[in-house]
Protein backbone atom coordinates (compact mmCIF):
# COMPACT_ATOMS: atom_id res chain seq x y z
CA UNK A 1 0.00 0.00 0.00
CA UNK A 2 2.87 2.37 0.83
CA UNK A 3 4.29 2.14 -2.72
CA UNK A 4 0.89 2.92 -4.24
CA UNK A 5 0.49 6.05 -2.10
CA UNK A 6 4.11 7.08 -2.75
CA UNK A 7 3.73 6.79 -6.52
CA UNK A 8 0.40 8.62 -6.40
CA UNK A 9 2.10 11.39 -4.40
CA UNK A 10 4.93 11.61 -6.94
CA UNK A 11 2.44 11.88 -9.80
CA UNK A 12 0.58 14.64 -7.97
CA UNK A 13 3.90 16.50 -7.51
CA UNK A 14 4.62 16.27 -11.24
CA UNK A 15 1.09 17.32 -12.25
CA UNK A 16 1.05 20.19 -9.74
CA UNK A 17 4.40 21.53 -10.91
CA UNK A 18 3.54 21.23 -14.61
CA UNK A 19 0.18 22.87 -14.03
CA UNK A 20 1.78 25.77 -12.14
CA UNK A 21 4.31 26.30 -14.93
CA UNK A 22 1.66 26.03 -17.64
CA UNK A 23 -0.73 28.42 -15.91
CA UNK A 24 1.97 31.00 -15.30
CA UNK A 25 3.36 30.98 -18.83
CA UNK A 26 0.06 30.66 -20.64
CA UNK A 27 -1.92 33.20 -18.73
CA UNK A 28 0.58 35.71 -17.46
CA UNK A 29 3.12 35.79 -20.23
CA UNK A 30 0.86 35.30 -23.24
CA UNK A 31 -2.10 37.09 -21.55
CA UNK A 32 -4.70 34.49 -22.57
CA UNK A 33 -7.87 34.18 -20.48
CA UNK A 34 -8.00 31.31 -17.97
CA UNK A 35 -10.78 28.71 -18.42
CA UNK A 36 -12.70 27.84 -15.26
CA UNK A 37 -11.32 24.27 -15.18
CA UNK A 38 -7.75 25.61 -14.96
CA UNK A 39 -8.76 27.84 -12.06
CA UNK A 40 -10.30 24.92 -10.14
CA UNK A 41 -7.94 22.07 -11.08
CA UNK A 42 -4.89 23.22 -9.06
CA UNK A 43 -6.94 23.19 -5.86
CA UNK A 44 -8.03 19.59 -6.43
CA UNK A 45 -4.54 18.41 -7.42
CA UNK A 46 -2.87 20.20 -4.51
CA UNK A 47 -5.43 18.81 -2.06
CA UNK A 48 -4.70 15.28 -3.28
CA UNK A 49 -0.98 16.03 -3.08
CA UNK A 50 -1.25 17.22 0.51
CA UNK A 51 -3.47 14.31 1.54
CA UNK A 52 -1.13 11.75 0.00
CA UNK A 53 1.86 13.41 1.71
CA UNK A 54 0.13 13.32 5.09
CA UNK A 55 -0.88 9.70 4.47
CA UNK A 56 2.75 8.78 3.71
CA UNK A 57 3.97 10.52 6.87
CA UNK A 58 1.36 8.70 8.97
CA UNK A 59 2.12 5.35 7.34
CA UNK A 60 5.79 5.53 8.29
CA UNK A 61 5.24 7.47 11.53
CA UNK A 62 7.11 10.65 10.55
CA UNK A 63 6.51 13.72 12.71
CA UNK A 64 7.59 17.02 11.07
CA UNK A 65 9.07 18.57 14.21
CA UNK A 66 11.08 15.40 14.93
CA UNK A 67 12.37 14.87 11.37
CA UNK A 68 14.30 17.97 10.24
CA UNK A 69 14.05 17.35 6.50
CA UNK A 70 10.25 16.96 6.67
CA UNK A 71 9.89 20.14 8.71
CA UNK A 72 12.05 21.99 6.18
CA UNK A 73 9.94 20.61 3.33
CA UNK A 74 6.72 21.77 5.00
CA UNK A 75 8.13 25.27 5.54
CA UNK A 76 9.14 25.35 1.88
CA UNK A 77 5.61 24.26 0.98
CA UNK A 78 4.17 27.23 2.87
CA UNK A 79 6.63 29.51 1.06
CA UNK A 80 5.64 27.95 -2.28
CA UNK A 81 1.96 28.55 -1.60
CA UNK A 82 2.55 32.21 -0.73
CA UNK A 83 4.97 32.82 -3.60
CA UNK A 84 2.73 30.99 -6.06
CA UNK A 85 -0.14 33.25 -5.04
CA UNK A 86 2.04 36.29 -5.69
CA UNK A 87 3.04 34.86 -9.09
CA UNK A 88 -0.57 34.31 -10.11
CA UNK A 89 -2.20 37.47 -8.73
CA UNK A 90 0.35 40.29 -8.92
CA UNK A 91 1.73 42.11 -11.91
CA UNK A 92 5.14 43.39 -12.94
CA UNK A 93 8.35 42.58 -11.08
CA UNK A 94 6.51 41.13 -8.04
CA UNK A 95 4.82 38.59 -10.30
CA UNK A 96 8.10 37.54 -11.89
CA UNK A 97 9.92 37.36 -8.55
CA UNK A 98 7.07 35.31 -7.06
CA UNK A 99 7.26 32.92 -9.99
CA UNK A 100 11.04 32.46 -9.78
CA UNK A 101 11.04 32.01 -5.99
CA UNK A 102 8.06 29.62 -6.10
CA UNK A 103 9.87 27.52 -8.70
CA UNK A 104 13.03 27.52 -6.55
CA UNK A 105 10.93 26.45 -3.54
CA UNK A 106 9.66 23.45 -5.52
CA UNK A 107 13.19 22.51 -6.58
CA UNK A 108 14.27 22.76 -2.94
CA UNK A 109 11.37 20.54 -1.82
CA UNK A 110 12.28 17.90 -4.40
CA UNK A 111 15.94 17.95 -3.32
CA UNK A 112 15.00 17.72 0.36
CA UNK A 113 12.59 14.86 -0.30
CA UNK A 114 15.08 12.87 -2.36
CA UNK A 115 18.12 13.46 -0.13
CA UNK A 116 16.31 13.48 3.24
CA UNK A 117 18.42 16.46 4.32
CA UNK A 118 17.15 19.96 5.25
CA UNK A 119 20.21 21.42 3.45
CA UNK A 120 20.51 19.24 0.34
CA UNK A 121 23.66 19.04 -1.72
CA UNK A 122 23.56 20.28 -5.27
CA UNK A 123 26.66 18.19 -6.02
CA UNK A 124 24.62 15.00 -6.15
CA UNK A 125 22.24 16.57 -8.67
CA UNK A 126 24.97 17.37 -11.17
CA UNK A 127 27.06 14.21 -10.79
Assess whether 52 and 80 both reside in one domain: no
Check residue 127 and give its pLDDT.
57
Long-range contacts from 4-12, C-beta under 8 angstroms, 24+ separation: 5/52, 5/55, 5/56, 5/59, 6/56, 8/48, 8/52, 9/49, 9/52, 9/53, 9/55, 9/56, 12/45, 12/46, 12/48, 12/49, 12/52
Determine the pLDDT at residue 19. 92
Q: Are residues 57 and 71 in the same domain?
A: no
Same domain, 46 and 81: no
The residue out of 61, 85, 109 marking a domain boundary is 61
Could you tell me if 127 and 93 lie in one domain? yes
- What is the number of structural domains in the chain? 2
Q: Which domain holds residue 101?
A: 67-127
- The tens digit of pLDDT for each residue in 82-123 reads 999 999 888 889 999 999 999 999 999 999 999 999 998 876
Do 32 and 88 share a domain, yes or no?
no
pLDDT at 46 over 70: yes
Same-domain status, 4 and 31: yes
48 and 74 assigned to the same domain = no
The confidence score (pLDDT) of residue 29 equals 72
Amino acid sequence: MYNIVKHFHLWMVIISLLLFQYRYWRFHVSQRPMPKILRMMPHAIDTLLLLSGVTLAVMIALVPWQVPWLGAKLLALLAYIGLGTVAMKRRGWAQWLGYVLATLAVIYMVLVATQKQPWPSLGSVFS
